[in-house]
Structure formats: C-alpha cells, structure tokens
Amino acid sequence: MEFSVVFESIILIGLMILIGVVLANFTPINDHTKKLYTMIIVNVAMPCIILSSIFKVEIDQEILKNIVIVFIFSLLINILGIAVGWFGASFSKKYKPYRREIALLSGLGNTGFIGIPLCATILGPEGALYAAIFDAGVDLVIWTVGVMILQKSTSFSFSTLKTMVNIPTIAIVLGLCFAFVNFRPPELFVNLSNHLAALASPLAMFYIGLLIRSIKKEQFIESRNKVSFPTIIKLVGLPLIVFVLLQVIDMDLTISQTILIQAMMPVLTLASILFTKYGANDKYGAITTVTSTIISLISIPVLIYLLTGF
C-alpha cells in the first residue's frame, strides 16, 4: 500500500464530491433526488462492487477464516465506538441531551459509500471483499444496537430483523455461496458487475456533494460546537484505538489495513435518514456527516501516513 495511491484516491474522492456540489446547482435537492441516489448506490452499485470483488478473489479456507475475523472485528469496533461516544457524552452536560445521536455518530462510519471503493482502489479486490464484510458488520450494528439506542429500548423485533436483509447483504451471501461451491457465473454477468461496480464511488461521492449543498451555512455555524465531539472521536479517537489493538494482535496485513482504513471513515451517510426514522435530531446527523466527510479528506491520508509508517 503506497502513500501515493492513498493520496491520489483521496484527491479523486474530493474531486468527485466537488462535482456533486456543482451538480446540486442544477439538480433539485429534495427527498426524491436523495432517495434515487441512495437506491441506485445501495441496490445496484454496492452489490456489484461486492460481487465483482468476490469474483476476482479465489476464495479458499484461509479467505473464509479471514472473512469471519473481519466481521467479528467490525462488530467489536463499531460497538466500541458507540460506547466511547455514549459514555463521553454522558459525562458532559453540554452533550448529554444528544448522547443517543453522538453515540451512533461516534461509532458508525461510512464504510460502504466511501470505505469499500477506497479499499478496492488501495488494496485491490481482496481488500474490497474484506471492506464489504466490515460494512456488513456495520449494518448489523446499525439495525440492532443502533435502533435499540434510538428507540430507547432493549427489545428486538421481527421488523428490525427484516431491515437487516438488504441487497448488499444478499450480494455478500450469494457471492460467498458461489465462491464456496466454485461456481463462476457467465462472463457476461461478471463483466456487467464490473461495469456497474465502477458506478459505486462516483455516485456515492456525488450524493455526498448533494448533501453538502443541501445544508445552509447558518446550520453549520449553529451546530459546529455539537459536531466537533463525535467528529473527533470518529476521525481520530477510534482509529487510534483500533491501531493500538492491531499492534498487539497477529493478523494478516491486508486484513489489518482494511480494518484500520474502515475505522478511519467519516460518519455514516445514512445517519440523518436513520435519525429521521426514529425521531432523533436528523439535522444534527446530516451536518455531522458532511463535516466529518470534509475533514476526513485530510485526516485519512494523514493518519494512514502516520500510523502505517510510509
């Protein structure tokens, strides 16, 4: 993993986000537009980048073992981040009223929209596969621990379970099943998945650009004090904790690099949608997502440079 590749990838992400901001000047920014982007990204582009990665990697017992390791680490890291945010906010009168939101914003990163494409670029198909597995862990935490926190409930309903069954998750399961039985789809399907996978990163960055453009300057100024706390935890605190943990655990290099990169991701893009659904502060979620994404364009390459010893 060369730093020049990391730096170039971040520059490309920044430019694509900028294009999204420009597009927002010519595109109506409403719920329909956001839903359309989200639908294409989540239900078409993301599953294809997952399948494309699986088709490019020879799945053996070692890879399957690594997949389990990544998934377990994803659960632990996300829950750890949530716990740090929750307890950190609980000890502050200023942040305590927002500790539900802060907990999720501190622990759950944009491992799908940014993490998977970034790992695919930097680490190749195997890294993209592990990144997709990490993202599956994020999804599981979102729709279990996350929902329980937002609902202020410890119950787990069947409707919550249904939300965990989504197209990217199905793509992971199907892809791994194909690989496990050594089934390779027709080349036409493989090529189609490769082409559609290429849509994931641009569309996701365009969407973030639209999101940035949709938030007014006054809203940024009003929320800047509340935004800083979860942003610092997510972009600095959690990656440093994960880095320390990885130093004491003997692990495959690609796995450790994937986990570390995913831990550096900014706040998840779906935060505002999730908060709206469960009656939390959706504007706070959107502004934190945008702020952390912008800052991450600097924090990710800096942390990678400092922590991986280029």
Domains by residue range for the chain, with CATH: 3-308 (1.20.1530.20)
**CB-based contacts of 60, cutoff 8 Å, min separation 6:** none
Which residues are 109's β-sheet partners?
267
**CB-based contacts of 46, cutoff 8 Å, min separation 6:** 112, 116, 167, 168, 171, 200
Mean model confidence pLDDT for the chain: 83
Query: By CB neighbour count within 10 A (0-12 exposed, 13-18 middle, 19+ buried), where does 186 fall?
Result: exposed
Supply the pLDDT for residue 245.
93
**What is the distance between the alpha carbons of residues 121 and 99, in angstroms, rounded to a whole number?**
35
Supply the pLDDT for residue 310.
46
**CB-based contacts of 247, cutoff 8 Å, min separation 6:** none
**What is the distance between the alpha carbons of residues 136 and 134, in angstroms, rounded to a whole number?**
5
The structure's pTM equals 0.81
Supply the pLDDT for residue 55.
79
Digit-coded pLDDT (tens) for 189-206:
889 988 888 887 788 788
Reported confidence tier of residue 97, pLDDT bands at 50, 70, 90: confident
